[in-house]
Structure 1
Amino acid sequence: MLTNDPTAAAVLAAVPCHPVPPLGKSPALDALRSARSGHGLAVGSDGVMLILRRPWLALDVPVTPPIAAYLPYGSVGAPKADLRCGLIPCEHLNEILDHFRAALPNEAAAFVLWNEKTGVFAVNLPDIDEATPSRLVYRNPVLPPDWHLICDIHSHGRGFAFFSATDDADDAHATKMSLVFGRLDQPDGPMMESRLCACGMFLPLPRSPFAGESHAA
């Protein structure tokens, strides 16, 4: 037992930290990596890795460089970011961009949801409290059972795509993909910025989450 304090024990149970054995498997790490949902840390000879699981996401990402001190541990392994839900159908992207263009000159927003039981994706257009060409206030949807919010998307209208300080604050405590589209009035297509939000980190997406789109900005 690492602690007798119930609050500390609850924290360690919610976000466990496991050393990587030098040889052989770790049942605790195997359980964390195969979990439906949860996250924790693996400490190895080559650094510390965040292992995060959601029904739609399997993420292993280093959070420190290799530790300078000698540790008699094994390697934390290779990083990965796998969409357990698969790629989002491209027709949902077309629907969202059509909605954003129809809202010009104002900014607009959309969510992509995924149903864990059926594997179905859906676009949710949120309730908007305020929309102007430079400001947007909107609400997250209340999700029915088995549905997960996997993409939070908003537009900057005719302006450039970027993540603002307000976006950073909104995304800091969420696990989701976040996308911003701009220059929606341009004939050569919109510009896009994207990131994966996980445990307060903003990670680059290696590719677009939409089928048929090869790159993420």
Structure 2
Amino acid sequence: MTATLADDPTAAAILAAAPCYPVPPSGGSPAIDAVRASRTGHCLAVGRDGVSLIVRRPWLELDVPVTPPIPAYLPYGSIGERRANLRCGLIPKEIFDRVLDHFCAALPNEAAAFVIWDEDDRDFSLHFPQIDEATPSRLIYRNPVLPLRRHLVCDIHSHGHGAAFFSATDDRDDAHTTKIALVVGRLGDPDGPVIASRLCAGGMFLAVPRNPFSGDDYAA
């Protein structure tokens, strides 16, 4: 007989929405396998070699360790290999070229763009958001409200002629989203733009494991 994890209904609902599963020492875990196979889901997997965050979105497969190996003895299996795959495929290079053209046209002010993926036709599109304020050092813009089965994959904004970095405001805005975030700086420089990139998931900011665009290696 297995006891419930919480006797408070709200606490039980929270734990059910963000479950944590031990990895069996042998065989498979139907619960973990179900999350990995899901269209949208997430969980923590606890193994002898640490804790892994597993995230699934229609456009993303992510398995990433979030702790080092736990020093206590755990009679569990391994959390497995790190994984970060784009289910949607690589974003066409032409989309990023259009983003750069838009950012250069906005100089000296900052600008923004979103890459959207349609789950049904498996096609990418570019959305330029409503801008409430844009200066060479400040940008306020609105996230798109998307219909079902359309997904924000990449959130890109520029720093004009300035350096490419993520600000404290960016950290707050990105803390509870799952997306690829890019900042483009040094626009107009002879050596070309400089790009900062990260994958936002589970409240963490992760290194982008590879360039999400086809063609040249834009992402830093």
**Taking structure 2 as the reference length, what is the TM-score of the superposition?**
0.96
**Contact 1:57/1:83 (CA < 8 Å) preserved in 2?**
yes
Letter in 2 for 1:142: V
Count of aligned positions: 217
Alignment check: 8 A CA contact 2:39 2:58 kept: yes
Gaps of 5+ in 1: none
Unaligned runs of 5+ in 2: none
Secondary structure in structure 1 of the residue aligned to 2:217? coil
For residues 199 and 214 of structure 2, the distance between their equivalents in structure 1, rounded to whole angstroms, comes to: 17
1:120-147, Cα deviation, whole Å (9 max, x unpaired) = 1000000000000000000001112211
Give the aligned CA root-mean-square deviation in angstroms: 0.9
Look up the match of 1:10: 13
Q: Distance in 2 between matches of 1:49 and 1:145?
A: 29
8 Å contact from structure 1 (residues 207, 215) kept in 2: no
- In structure 2, the residue matched to 1:163 is 166
Matched, 1:138 2:171: no
Sort the Cα spacing of 1:101 and 1:215 in 2 relative to 1 into closer, same or farther, 3 A.
closer
Counterpart in the other structure of 2:88: 85
Q: Output aligned runs, 1:20-39, within 5 Å.
A: 20-39=23-42
Partner deviation per Cα, 1:19-50 (whole Å, 9 max, x = no partner) = 00000011001001111101110000000000
- State the percentage of identical aligned residues: 69
2:38 is paired with a residue whose SS is coil
Amino acid at match of 2:207: P
Q: CA 1:197 to 1:15, structure 2 compared with 1: closer, same or farther past 3 Å?
A: same
Matches within 5 A, 1:102-141: 102-141=105-144
Distance 1:135 1:162 in 2: 13
Shift of 1:215: 5.8
List, as ranges, runs of 4+ consecutive aligned residues in structure 1 with deviation greater than 6 Å. Answer: none
Question: What is the CA deviation profile of residues 73-129 of structure 1, one whole-angstrom value per residue up to 9, with x for unaligned ones?
Answer: 000001111111110000000000000000000000000000011101000000000
Task: Read off the aligned partner of 1:98 and give its amino acid letter.
Answer: D
